[in-house]
Amino acid sequence: MLPERALAEFRSVLGADRALDDAATRALYSHDETPRQIVPEAVLFPASHDDVAALTQIAFRHRIALTPRGAGSGNVGGALPAAGSVVVSFECMQRVLEFDQDNRLIVVEAGIVTDEINRIARSAGLFYPPDPGSSAYCRLGGNLAMNAAGPHAVKYGVTRDHVLGLRAVTGSGETIRTGCRTTKGVTGYDLTRLLIGSEGTLALITEATLKLLPAPEAVATLRVCYASNHAALAAVSRIMRQPVVPCALEFMDHRAIDAIRPTGTADDLPSGTRALLMVEADGATQDLPRQIAALQHALAGDGLLELRSGFKRDEIAELWTARKSLSHAVKRIAPLKINEDVVVPVSLLAGFVDFIDHTASTYRLPVVSFGHAGNGNLHINLMVHPDDSEEMTRAHHALDAIIQRVLELGGTLSGEHGIGTEKRRFIPQEIDPATLGVMRAIKQQFDPLGLLNPGKLFPD
């Protein structure tokens, strides 16, 4: 239970309206997109960096655990409160502190919505490349915590690749600054890259200096249908071996296509379509035809059923309809989606998808796979009924088998969703004891009392 004295100190810094412990507010912030729920002791709403530093110092004095939260849109339990913790919600910190068009950078607070950054950048002919699927409502702080990505990571990289520097607060309430304002800089350790992807376990990030790029003049999209997963994924390997790098390269397997058929968005797919690729190119208008020709050449091969192209905005939107409808369509299969976002080497994707099909058959489960094939990053969705204990047991065995296979192939547990509470039991299978020991020592240095987002990332 939160000591009354601590709550009074929080309110003295934030005001009574931004340090709440009523039952309704606590319930609202008791979960993220995972099905679990843990009610926090209170919810704090800082409005500035100084607020975050002050509340962290109070928490340090009273040994109160803090759970940082952006929009709560993550699906691995990264924003799930720890028992006895206080949630720190960054939704009141959405200011743009600086927009420097000449040097192509923007300085923003951690609570800003990701799409808002891009809206501002594009008003000056620039853009912010990271594009997680929830970018219309997720917040930058959560993107930084999980090193979020999206379809365009195949060309432009992930969140970490577009951050120049950070301002943050350590577990003891000390303010630190990392990085610099220039695109080159090697002074000191690279704490910026260390904090990004640390899931709020090292420091609470309050501000970020982001690198922007010139917006491409034009975009073109290809929707490519194949008779099998093997044919589609062989084309992915061919694309990634040739010089033209697409800005997006998305894959849908046959179960994903079956899932969208009831919605009508697959009606125009040719008969026999069992896999689909979405391939996008961008750049200078005059160069786009050359890029598309090179991509079409790589996409041609056994199993190709149809290739459709779009160069205008409405054409592109129509081609993406099937892929955009997938998330909602999958939820009709079963009420609970166990969502994994594993990564394997691109050249091994075809065999890995075969293994997923075999696992789905062995454990009698609908398993839908789609994702960012150009990075080898697949979203594997085990669709289950949580009230069926026997089915849930099968699902957990299937998940264990899939994770083991990922690691055998030289892959990794997560490409963009993070570890949170849901994957931390697998961490010792990927990270050796000596390396894990170094990571724990770093955690101790940043957060000596272990108060920042406990129960995440590391196994107990």
Q: What is the pLDDT of residues 281-317, one digit of tens each?
A: 999 999 999 999 999 999 999 999 999 999 988 888 8
DSSP 132-174: -TTTTT-BHHHHHHHT---TTHHHH--GGGGEEEEEEEETTS-
- What class has domain 218-326? alpha beta
Q: DSSP code of 215?
A: P
- Contact at 8 Å (CB) between 203 and 228? no
At residue 1, the pLDDT reads 81
- Region class of 364: left (phi > 0), else alpha (psi between -120 and 50), else beta: left
State the number of CA atoms in the 13 A half-sphere of 390 facing the CB: 1
Task: Identify the CATH assignment for 333-416 out of 3.30.70.2740, 3.90.1150.150, 3.40.50.300, 3.40.50.1820.
Answer: 3.30.70.2740
Amino acid 196 reads: I
- Contact at 8 Å (CB) between 373 and 349? yes
With 0-12 / 13-18 / 19 or more C-beta atoms within 10 angstroms meaning exposed / middle / buried, residue 57 is middle
Indicate where the chain has its CATH 3.30.70.2740 domain(s).
Answer: 333-416
Give pLDDT tens digits along the chain (460 positions): 899 999 999 999 999 999 999 999 999 999 999 889 999 999 999 999 999 999 999 999 999 999 999 999 998 999 999 999 999 999 999 999 999 999 999 999 999 999 999 999 999 999 999 999 899 999 999 999 999 999 999 999 999 999 999 999 999 999 999 999 999 999 999 999 999 999 999 999 999 999 999 999 999 999 999 999 999 999 999 999 999 999 999 999 999 999 998 888 888 899 999 999 999 999 999 999 999 999 999 999 999 999 999 998 888 888 888 888 887 788 889 999 998 999 999 999 999 999 999 999 999 999 999 999 999 999 999 999 999 999 999 999 999 999 999 999 999 999 999 999 999 999 999 999 999 999 999 999 999 999 999 999 998 8
Six-digit token string for 208: 């970020």
At residue 460, the pLDDT reads 82
- What class has domain 96-214? alpha beta
Residue of 135, 137, 202 lying closest to 168 (CA atoms): 202
Residue with tokens 């296509």: 257
At residue 50, the pLDDT reads 98
How many of the other CB atoms lie within 10 Å of CB of 292?
20
Indicate where the chain has its CATH 3.30.70.2190 domain(s).
Answer: 218-326
How many of the other CB atoms lie within 10 Å of CB of 387?
9
Residue with tokens 């997006």: 248
Which is it for the CA torsion 255, 72, 140, 170, positive or negative?
negative
Six-digit token string for 185: 């800089």
Find residue 412's DSSP bridge partners: 343
Six-digit token string for 309: 């192209």
At residue 323, the pLDDT reads 83
Pairing state between β 42-44 and 86-89: parallel
At residue 319, the pLDDT reads 85
Q: Longest C-alpha distance within the chain, in Å?
A: 70
- Contact at 8 Å (CB) between 201 and 442? no
Q: Give, rounded to a whole angstrom, the gap between the first and last alpha carbons of the chain.
A: 23
Task: Identify the CATH assignment for 4-89 out of 3.30.43.10, 3.40.1710.10, 3.40.50.720, 2.40.30.30.
Answer: 3.30.43.10
